[in-house]
Amino acid sequence: MLGIELKGHDYKYEIAELFKLFTTQFRFVKEDEQFEKILINEIIKDGNCIKSITKYYEEELLKFCKEESFDISSLSQEDIKKKSKTIIKRSIFKVLDDLYDMYVPWGILTGIRPVKIVHSLLDEGLSEDEIRNNLKGNYLIKDEKIDLALDIAKRERIFIYPINKNKISLYVSIPFCPTRCVYCSFPANPMKQFGHLRDNYIKAIIKEIKGLAKLLKETNKEVETLYIGGGTPTTLESDQLDNLIKSLFRELDLTKIKEFTVEAGRPDTITKDKLEVMKKHNVTRISINPQTMNDETLVKIGRDHNVNDIINCFNMARELGFDNINMDIILGLVDENVAMVRNTLEKIKELSPESLTVHTLAIKRASALKENLDKYELTRYEEMISMINLSMEYAKDMGLNPYYMYRQKHMLGNLENIGYAKEGFECIYNIQIMEEKQSNLAVGAGAISKYVYVDEDRIERTDNVKNVEIYIDRVDEMIQRKEKEVYKNVN
């Protein structure tokens, strides 16, 4: 166990998140507690200079010492606080890097949106070389990840800029699933227990849509993209799905939307009549998400379908004329190795989807995997790196470019999720939701609306309740929450 002692500050949360990139075997030192191995970080003010000094001792012998500093002249108190945290993390990171000799490619970054930093630097007018130096010097990011972030930012900018504050994206939550996958933490109510609530849920969500329509009309907002997600939206029967989409177009002005996505998601919920409903309503993009193309893994993660079902659903969608299909996979699933990931990618390559989203397994607090972690052997770190690299190679070979990226806490290897797409098939909704330059309003149980105030560099959120039955009973309150946030900011 490694002891951590902080002097001159108490940024325990930030330091703990940084340590988790290397090890979980640590704790903060309590008074008079003794450790054979101890890391001490101290922040010192010396005139106009602030220094962060990190020392690592084994049995009272100094093994490593790293120092970082900056000049506080002309800086605000807020900037001094931010820079202090940065140099504290940098000095600690350099000691941990020497101590553990691990591949931690994102440096001190523990946030989920690294591309946002690139956008802000581009907005300041920095050149690519200046951005590279900034990311490497300030955050200690590896060159290959800097290249990735820059590449994605450049692809995203044509969809984000110029920023139009009157445009929004709209998310519709369908929180039902056939079964709950072991890694899932999303609102996903299994059909056996909750399927009987679907009709009442549709009535409630249509009521919330009507309230939202009034709000958008009064504030002159235009819906740019529409995304129906979940859960699994195709757990709705075809007539329920038809009713929902008809209501969206009846209540909202969707004449100018650029993109309409429905997560068809799991093959065990996809039928020809449901696909025909989506085609009739001009759904432009669907997701058919295998997560893996290995039958034994599908059983282990709680899926009630096999690989042939995935292939058959994909081909059926193609026959019905869907020309923009996304597929999701997850790297690091239970007992999967690099050879099994290669098999998944080979089968997806044969199908040739327009986009592929590659997720790295994240151990979510609300998932069954987290609750039963000792039952599963998780992918080793080195294997995860190989899986990521392999997926990049296959994406390139399939003519898919990286176009958006995000990271999650508790991801295996502290790596990243990447969306790849053929030229012209980038998902605008995904880009906007990730880079947070556009407000995203959301309806349904568990839906979270984000209100982006670009001029103030401020984001506010309103959450809908997660429980489906409570949502149905309290849908009026969900409408009022949105109204309260929007109208308090209207002059």
pLDDT tens for the chain, 491 residues: list them: 899 999 999 999 999 989 988 888 899 998 878 899 999 999 999 889 999 999 999 999 999 999 999 999 889 999 999 999 999 999 999 999 999 888 888 999 877 788 999 999 999 999 999 999 999 999 999 999 999 999 999 999 999 999 999 999 999 999 988 765 554 555 567 767 787 999 999 999 999 999 999 999 999 999 999 999 988 999 999 999 999 999 999 999 999 999 999 998 788 899 999 999 999 999 999 999 899 999 999 988 877 789 999 999 999 999 999 999 999 999 988 888 999 999 999 999 999 999 999 988 754 343 343 444 344 444 466 788 889 999 999 999 999 999 999 876 654 446 789 999 999 999 999 999 999 999 999 999 999 999 999 888 899 999 999 999 999 999 999 999 999 999 887 65
Number of neighbours of residue 304 by Cβ within 10 angstroms: 13
CA angle 240, 242, 245 (to 5 degrees): 110
Q: Which amino acid is at 50?
A: I
pLDDT at 352: 97
> Quick one: tokens of 265?
């998601």
If you write DSSP's letter for every residue of 297-336 in order, what string do you get? HHHHTT-S--HHHHHHHHHHHHHTT---EEEEEEET-TT-
Q: What is the Cβ-side half-sphere exposure of residue 335, based on CA atoms within 13 angstroms? A: 10
In the structure encoding, which two tokens stand for residue 130, read together?
Answer: 């200046």
CA distances from 79 to 7, 70, 137 (A): 20, 11, 17
Write the single-letter amino acid at 85: K
Cβ(481)–Cβ(462) below 8 Å: yes
**What letter would DSSP give residue 409?**
T
Q: What is the pLDDT of residue 369?
A: 36
Q: Which residues are 461's β-sheet partners?
A: 450
Q: Tell me the HSE value of 226 on the side-chain side, using a 13 A CA sphere.
A: 21
> Hey, CA dihedral for 289, 295, 298, 304, is it positive or negative?
positive
Query: What local confidence, expressed as pLDDT, does residue 410 receive?
Result: 54
CA pair distance 357, 385, nearest whole angstrom: 17
- For residues 133 and 129, give the distance between their C-alpha atoms in angstroms, rounded to a whole number: 6
- Hey, how many other C-beta atoms are within 10 angstroms of the C-beta on 156? 24
Task: Classify residue 60 as left (phi > 0), alpha (psi -120 to 50) or beta.
Answer: left
The residue whose two tokens read 């820079």 is 83
Question: Could you tell me which residues are beta bridge partners of residue 420?
Answer: 356, 402
The rounded distance, in Å, linking the Cα atoms of 356 and 173 is 22
> Residue 378: its pLDDT value, please?
42
Task: Supply the pLDDT for residue 364.
Answer: 39
Tokens representing residue 432 in the block:
């906007």
- Dihedral of the alpha carbons of 252, 256, 259, 261, in degrees to the nearest 10: 10
